[in-house]
Structure formats: C-alpha cells, structure tokens
Amino acid sequence: MTSAPDVTAATAEGAAWLASAGTYPRSMLALWEERPGAPVVLPCGTVFDVVSAPSVFGRRMLDRLWGAEGPGCGPVAVHRGRTLLFAAPGTAHRLPSLLAWEEWGPRTHAVPPLLCHGTGDAVTVPALEGDAGPAPAGSRWLVAPDTRHPWLPGPEVVLWAAVRAAREAARVSIFPPADQDAKVYDVSRRR
C-alpha cells in the first residue's frame, strides 16, 4: 500500500511548471485553459527527465518511493502501459550507467528495461484534469504536479527504488514456503 498523495489533477502551479518545459509556456497554458482534457507532448532535459518503466514494475517503484523508507517523489503518470516517473534533469543520462555499475542492468533481467528520456527527447503527458473524460490509452496522473517547484528524484534515488522493486519482485514465488518441521527420509539407500 502506498502513501502517495491523492493528486490526480494538476493545480495551476503544477500546470505552470509543466508548461515551463516547453518552448512557449504562455501558449501552452492558453491551450490548457481552452482544452484542459488534452494530453500534450513536452520536451525533456531542461525542467525534468522522465524514467519510463513497465506499468507493474513502475508501480512497485512508486510504492518504494512513498513507503516508510522512501523519500517520496514528484509527478508520476501512466501512459500506454508504462509508468512515467518525472526525475531531475540529468537522470536519463546517469541512470543506465548506475544500473550497469550496480550489476542490475539488462543482462541480469532483474530490473526490466527502463526507458530514460532526457535532452532531445519528448514525452506525452496526460490531461491536466483527472476527470476530464475517458483518457486515451489509459493516460492519467498517479501523482499530478501540484507545485511550481516539485521535488524530483535524482538518478541515485531512482536506482534505489528500482533495486528495491526488483528485490521485492524476486521474493514473490508461486511455491509455498517449505515446512521447516517436516520429517525428511533418505530414500536413496533402499534395500
């Protein structure tokens, strides 16, 4: 169970922060005033980076970030079956090398492929309003931007959440735990 805030619609300050990532922030805000239910494409790399994880794994990361030991995080969205974790600029460049250095990269298959969107990339963000009608392809905010300066996790914090989510996934087993009090007989020495 996560203790993430229940913010499914962006506030005016959060919309201003999102718009600041675009080339023309005032035009973006005017578009949102006209059509608050419209998702938009925003560039990454200056105001935020985005780490995109498979939906279930991304939710586990979010649970770790908002759990008892976690520091929390900024905005998080779901779009087309992936969880989009907004992170500090530079995270997209640094995170893959941290995962490889910690030996949690693609070769181990413990952490599923994380797509890191940074400078030169763009992402589709959900509509500002959480109840503006049916969202295309399940696009919605899990934690919407609600402040002009949200705290965005850096690469070390995202790595921390990914490793803990991978460890949690590895502990899940379809087999029941062994009965510690069971009597075991050696049948290899039959007469």
DSSP letters of 22-65? SS-HHHHHHHHHH-TT--EEEE-SSS-EEEEEEHHHHHHHHHHH
Task: Write down the pLDDT at residue 105.
Answer: 55
Task: Write down the pLDDT at residue 189.
Answer: 61
Q: What is the pTM of this model?
A: 0.79
Which of the four pLDDT bands, split at 50, 70 and 90, describes residue 186?
Answer: low
Task: Write down the pLDDT at residue 99.
Answer: 85
